[in-house]
Amino acid sequence: MEQTLKILVVDNDEIERVSLCSALDKTGIPMEISEVGNWNNAIAALTINPYDCVFLTIPVPEQNYLTQIPTIRSSGILVPLVVIADEVKENHFHSPTLGVTEYLSRSRLDPENLAQVLRYCIRLYRTEMQLTWTNERLRESNEVINQKNQKLQAQQQLIDWQKLQLLEASQLKSEFIATISHELLTPMNAIIGFSQLLLRPWGGEITERQRDMLERILNSGKHLLTLLHDVLDFSHLEIGKFAFKPQIFNLSQLICSIVTEMRSLSKGKNLSVLIHNHLQNPVVFNDPLRVQQILNNLLSNAIKFTESGFIWVEIEELPENRLVIAVRDTGIGIDAEDIKNIFTAFWQVDRTTSRKYPGTGLGLAIVDSLVKIMGGQITVESQLGNGSMFRIELPRQISHPHPKYLHDLSPVKITRSCQRIS
């Protein structure tokens, strides 16, 4: 059922007004009709009562009524307005600023036309109201979003500023650590050098007890030197002062040489260190010292965390000129929960002071940074109690100065001979 509409008819000619009201009555649309004889009364009625539609008759000499419509529109009276004129001039009423919803010629005031116009005007009005409401909500949401955006921008600025502060603090810390470590290197080298001299046969007569003490000084010095180098490297990596000198060299020879040197570490443990080399072309362009540093770290960890069994170093080629170096062991393994942390600086699975395995927790952080600098990636597979595998994927040629030299194959000399050790 249609709701009853409230209609206002404005006409100064009473006969015309009555005839319009009766035509409206006959439309069949349920409505309550109010009538006024002039525009001023109409405005008064509109400000008091809400109407669904106004029919306004404009006699030709009084078309200045029309000039008042925008004024009432701007005062917030938005009711649909149908103007009835004796002589309809379409252009005259269709000015968008005028505020007339629809116009009708007096000659077309039959119930059928009126019903059609009324329904159209009300539908249009409701749609416009809906649109206005939606626009208003959009404007409000926009305002809220803008305010939130401003807050976010302010927060972002604060975060950026704090980040800068942190970076500066971290830079200062790394520079301080680098300086201290550097300063410690000289006395440490002196301690190592002089204890080595004293241990030599021409170092002078020493008792067994003195020899034992000197050996302890030498070993502790060497251990401290390794730690100092780790700390120094780590702080240099942090402040971006890391020396990197890529060149062409033979990876197979380098790995054999490293494994041979590592043999001393596995002494006293029931360990076999094996190499599985599947490289067709062993020539790479990289920094051999840094590759050595990576492998030293992985191998010394493998030896440290394995009591018995095997350690394998596997090298193979991948498509697109990439290589894989994997270090596998049959050691204590790493819990899945801990794997995600092992590349974090100073992080160790066992962080107790009474831990069985010594170390700084910097080795893997340095390895991770070096592998990234080389354009590679490192992954770990491990099972608690069953061993671990650290797998490094590297480009055969890291992106540094002269790629053309890769075809000029003159590998750097690596003095140690390649041998399988166990």
Smallest distance from ligand ADP to CB 235, Å = 15
Site string for ligand ADP, 291-330 (x = CB under 6 A): ------x---xx--x-----------------------x-
Answer for which of 349, 370, 371, 414 binds ligand ADP (CB under 6 A) is 349
Q: Count residues binding ligand ADP (CB under 6 A).
A: 20
Smallest distance from ligand ADP to CB 294, Å = 11
Answer for which of 119, 274, 360, 406 binds ligand ADP (CB under 6 A) is 360
* Nearer to ligand ADP among residue 39 and residue 305 (C-beta): 305
Distant-in-sequence, close-in-space partners of 219: CB < 8 Å, separation ≥ 6: none
Question: Is residue 363 a contact point for ligand ADP (CB under 6 A)?
Answer: yes
Cα–Cα distance for residue pair 372/290, rounded to 1 Å: 12
Smallest distance from ligand ADP to CB 241, Å = 21
Nearest to residue 384, comparing CAs of 330, 335, 311, 328?
A: 335
Tell me which stretch binds ligand ADP (CB under 6 A): 44-52, 159-167, 251-259, 362-370.
362-370
284, two tokens: 């790479």
Please calculate the CA angle 170-172-178 and round it to the nearest 5 degrees.
100
Smallest distance from ligand ADP to CB 393, Å = 18
Question: Is residue 369 a contact point for ligand ADP (CB under 6 A)?
Answer: no
Cα–Cα distance for residue pair 194/137, rounded to 1 Å: 83
* Burial status of residue 186 (CB atoms within 10 A of its CB: 0-12, 13-18, 19 or more): exposed
* Burial status of residue 155 (CB atoms within 10 A of its CB: 0-12, 13-18, 19 or more): exposed
Cα–Cα distance for residue pair 77/42, rounded to 1 Å: 12
Question: Is residue 273 a contact point for ligand ADP (CB under 6 A)?
Answer: no
Tell me which stretch binds ligand ADP (CB under 6 A): 40-48, 151-159, 314-322, 354-362.
354-362
Distant-in-sequence, close-in-space partners of 145: CB < 8 Å, separation ≥ 6: none
Smallest distance from ligand ADP to CB 204, Å = 37
* Nearer to ligand ADP among residue 176 and residue 357 (C-beta): 357
Cα–Cα distance for residue pair 363/230, rounded to 1 Å: 7
320: phi then psi, degrees, rounded to nearest 5: 60, 40
* Nearer to ligand ADP among residue 361 and residue 411 (C-beta): 361
Q: Which residue is nearest to ligand ADP (CB)?
A: 359
Give the single-character DSSP code of 343.
T
Smallest distance from ligand ADP to CB 156, Å = 34
Smallest distance from ligand ADP to CB 301, Å = 4
Tell me which stretch binds ligand ADP (CB under 6 A): 44-52, 177-185, 255-263, 331-339.
331-339
Cα–Cα distance for residue pair 363/227, rounded to 1 Å: 9
* Nearer to ligand ADP among residue 85 and residue 327 (C-beta): 327
Cα–Cα distance for residue pair 25/87, rounded to 1 Å: 24
* Nearer to ligand ADP among residue 214 and residue 295 (C-beta): 295
* Nearer to ligand ADP among residue 121 and residue 231 (C-beta): 231
Smallest distance from ligand ADP to CB 367, Å = 7
Tell me which stretch binds ligand ADP (CB under 6 A): 79-87, 125-133, 357-365, 404-412.
357-365
Long-range interactions of 116-121: CB distance < 8 A, separation 24+: 117/82, 118/5, 118/7, 118/24, 118/27, 118/29, 118/53, 118/82, 119/29, 121/53, 121/80, 121/82
3-state secondary structure of 81: strand
Smallest distance from ligand ADP to CB 153, Å = 40
- 381-410: which residues touch ligand ADP (CB under 6 A)? 388
Smallest distance from ligand ADP to CB 360, Å = 5
Q: Specify which residues 274 forms β-bridges with.
A: 312
Neighbours of 262 (CB within 10 A): 19
- 133-192: which residues touch ligand ADP (CB under 6 A)? none
Answer for which of 342, 370, 378, 414 binds ligand ADP (CB under 6 A) is 342
Neighbours of 234 (CB within 10 A): 22
Cα–Cα distance for residue pair 389/382, rounded to 1 Å: 6
* Nearer to ligand ADP among residue 83 and residue 370 (C-beta): 370
Q: Which residues here bind ligand ADP, judged by CB under 6 A?
A: 297, 301-302, 305, 329, 331-334, 342, 348-349, 359-365, 388
